[in-house]
Structure 1
Amino acid sequence: MTPDQVALVQDSFSKVVPIADVAAELFYGRLFEIAPEVKPMFRGDMKEQGRKLMATLGVVVTGLTKLETVLPAASALAKKHVDYGVKAEHYTPVGAALLWTLEKGLGEAWKPELADAWGTAYSTLSDFMIAEAYGQAQAAE
């Protein structure tokens, strides 16, 4: 990621924080719509799950300036998700749901360069997580 992309992601996320609960609800609604097979993996309180999602996003977004600081936690999270039944192919609809949520939440601020920055951030992290959890071969697919 370029420094400009990092700045775009961080600045736009600061606008999402005030609507974090709504954003999390939009995200999970969209995820379950486009990937209904993942819904059974979520058995707990979805409001709490949404808070965890937004907190994790906050840590990652803050850490984009020094990505190496968040990679150990991302690795552990990826491996933990395997235990929940997450497969490498689930990362694609998660990314799609995230970008859709950001587009809805940010409205007119969602411009092509912002979409590209978030897409780059997500693919960078998801490729790493897939490689950590399932091996390099699946990350390249």
Structure 2
Amino acid sequence: MTEDQVNLVQQTFAKVAPISEQAAVIFYDRLFEVAPGVEAMFPSDMTEQRKKLMGTLAVVVNGLSNLSSVLPAASALAKRHVGYGARPEHYPVVGGALLWTLEKGLGDAWTPDVAAAWTAAYGTLSGYMISEAYGSAQAAE
């Protein structure tokens, strides 16, 4: 990721943060719409899960300028997700739901540059997490 991409992700996330609860609802609704099979991995009451999602996103976004600061937590998170039933093929689906949610939440502020920055951020982090949880061969697929 370039410094400009990091800045774009951080600036646009600051616009989503005030509506984080709504954004989390939109995200999970979209995720369960496009991948109904993953819904069973989540609790029936999603209140805490939505808070965790937005809290984790905030930590990651704020840590993008010093990526090594968030990698240990990302590694631990990836390994915990294996226990919940997450598989490498779920990561692109989650990424798609995240980008779709951001596009809806940001409206006109969702530009091609913003889309590219978020795609790079998610790709970097998800690739690392897949590698940590399943090994580097899975991350390359």
When normalised by structure 1's length, the TM-score is 0.99
TM alignment of 1:1-141, pairs within 5 A: 1-141=1-141
Q: CA RMSD in A?
A: 0.6
Rounded to whole Å, the distance in 1 between the matches of 2:93 and 2:22 is 19
Shift of 1:43: 1.6
Displacement of 1:44 in angstroms is 4.8
Task: Report the Cα offset of residue 48 of structure 1.
Answer: 1.2
1:62-93 deviation digits (Å, cap 9, x = unpaired):
00000000000000000000000000000011
Measure how far apart 1:15 and its partner are: 0.3
Partner SS, residue 85 of structure 2: coil
SS at match of 1:88: coil
Structure 1 position 45, deviation (Å): 2.4
Structure 1: runs of 5+ lacking an equivalent? none
Structure 2 unaligned residues grouped into runs of 5+: none
1:82 maps to a residue whose letter is V
Q: Deviations over 1:28-69 (max 9, x none)?
A: 000001111100000252121111100000000000000000
Give me the whole-angstrom Cα distance separating, in 2, the residues matched to 1:44 and 1:35: 16
Could you list the runs of 4 or more consecutive aligned residues of structure 1 that deviate by over 3 angstroms after TM superposition?
Answer: none
> Matched residues in 2 for 1:130 and 1:41: separation?
18
Question: How far apart, CA to CA, are the structure 1 residues paired with 2:45 and 2:57?
Answer: 18
Paired letter, 1:124: T
CA separation in 2, counterparts of 1:19 and 1:89? 29
- Cα separation, 2, equivalents of 1:83 and 1:32: 19
